[in-house]
Amino acid sequence: MFKQIFLIFLLLVTAAFGQLVDKDHATTHPERSVNTCLECKDCHTCDNPTREAPCLTSCPRHSHHFYGQHTSGEGPDVVIIDQLKNHYGPVAFAHRLHSAMSEMTGGCNNCHHYSEKDGVIPSCKECHLEESDDLSISMPSLKGAYHRQCINCHRDWAHDNACSFCHEPTDSEIPENLDTTDIVGVPHPRIQATSSYNYVTSYEDGPIVTFHHDDHVTLFGGQCSDCHKGDSCSRCHDETKQVQQINHLTSCCSCHQERDCLFCHSTQPKPPFQHRLTTGWDLEPYHTKTACKTCHNNPGSFKTPSAHCNDCHIHWDSGSFDHKITGLVLSEDHLDNDCVDCHSDRNFELQPECSECHDEITYPEELPGEKFR
């Protein structure tokens, strides 16, 4: 009798413990620790999934199921999608171009919503069957998956559903050598961006921030994705849409770490970057074609040159250097000076020193010659 009671008691305890463990599992589930919004039913189709029979939904569409980014060059250049050609011809999908653009809009998992833990991306048809069956009713078939993926963005910015936008006509052949920079035979037009923007901010001491887009792209060598992160296609492509402003705090400040607000803010628009005006060092006439990074090779910073003049001009010395080209003709009594007399350590980027010879004189209040430019 006592034995039986004990057994029942044991059974109850075990069951209760089982419950506890189960509950615990629900909260400490590895996926849940990543995304607490996740509910069991988002991944499991049955009410009580177990480790043996997890009844997982196939290819769950959640960003946290994407592991590891790839570079745009890793994938194929062009993918010919022709498994389902029926009413329309196949699609030549410029994968490289799209992946390059995707870097501005969230990366690979923009389209590839699922990858293995090791980062390997399965092909669409591995999950999306050509003909969906009863089991996969909640998942689009291959046709649906393609169309949903492509049209989502295309419709968003082009406002166009025309099938011919992507599909070749039924009777046409895919040309053999496709230009990978093409979008289906139509070369991508040059991006037309406004060269400068004047933003009016609420900062009282300098409400105006002038942003020279051209300078950032052509002079400073910025990549689109440096600023256009997590952007949408329609931001650039949709002309009907009101341009949404980029979050400047994160975009600008990721490069400009100046603590001086007035570096960007001003009471009036700032002119585009001119080396002479901004730094006092004129690129005219000999350095106009010199690449920025010849002198400024510090990644992300142009503040001070990484190279010195003598790195290139190794044979320059007093007597062999015509000081006139700097825009300053030396006076008679300075002509014979050695370079280091004014430019200590032959550091020509620094302000010249007069104290070597003169007591009360400073540059540039008084000049060692005549400035003619």
Partner 1 sequence: MTTRREFLKIAGVATTTMVLPAQASNGPHLDSERFGVLADLTLCIGCRKCEWACAGANELSSYPIEYYDDTCVFEKYRRPTTTEYTVVNRFPASETSVQTDAKVQCMHCEHPACVSACIVGALQKDPMGPVTYDADKCIGCRYCMVACTFQVPAYEYLNATTPQVRKCTLCSDKTLNGSGKPACVEICPREALTFGKRSELLKIAEQRIRRNPDRYIDHVYGEKEAGGTSWMMISGTDFKELKFPEVGDESPAVVTETIQHGIFRGFSGPLMLLGLLGATMKAMKKDPSDG
Where along the sequence are the contacts to partner 1 (CB under 8 A)? 39, 41-42, 87, 132, 134, 137-138, 140-141, 143-144, 147-148, 151, 155, 161-163
- CA dist., res. 213 & res. 200, Å (int): 16
Q: Which residues of 294-331 are buried (b: 16+ CB within 10 A; e: fewer)?
A: ebbeeeeebeebeeebeeeeeeeeeeeeebeeeebbbe
- CA dist., res. 282 & res. 275, Å (int): 6
SS3 label, residue 337 = coil
Q: Note every long-range contact of 58-63, with CB atoms under 8 Å and residues 24 or more positions apart, other chains counting.
A: 58/127, 58/136, 58/139, 59/113, 59/114, 59/122, 59/127, 59/128, 59/139, 60/114, 61/113, 61/114, 62/35, 62/38, 62/113, 63/109, 63/113
Q: Report the 10 Å Cβ neighbour count for 352.
A: 18
CB of 26 to partner 1, least distance (A): 17
CB of 137 to partner 1, least distance (A): 5
Decide whether 140 or 305 has the Cβ nearer to partner 1. 140
Decide whether 59 or 264 has the Cβ nearer to partner 1. 59
CB of 349 to partner 1, least distance (A): 54
CB of 65 to partner 1, least distance (A): 14
Q: Report the 10 Å Cβ neighbour count for 57.
A: 15
Decide whether 132 or 337 has the Cβ nearer to partner 1. 132
Tokens of 187: 């070369």
Decide whether 163 or 291 has the Cβ nearer to partner 1. 163
Decide whether 46 or 262 has the Cβ nearer to partner 1. 46
Tokens of 261: 């607000």
CB of 158 to partner 1, least distance (A): 11
- CA dist., res. 271 & res. 211, Å (int): 9
Decide whether 128 or 216 has the Cβ nearer to partner 1. 128
Tokens of 59: 């290819």
Decide whether 45 or 198 has the Cβ nearer to partner 1. 45
Decide whether 52 or 133 has the Cβ nearer to partner 1. 133
SS3 label, residue 109 = helix
Decide whether 165 or 363 has the Cβ nearer to partner 1. 165
Looking at the chain, how many residues does it have? 373
SS3 label, residue 253 = helix
Return the DSSP state at 44. Answer: B
CA nearest to 110, candidates 158, 160, 154: 154
Residue 239 one-letter amino acid: E
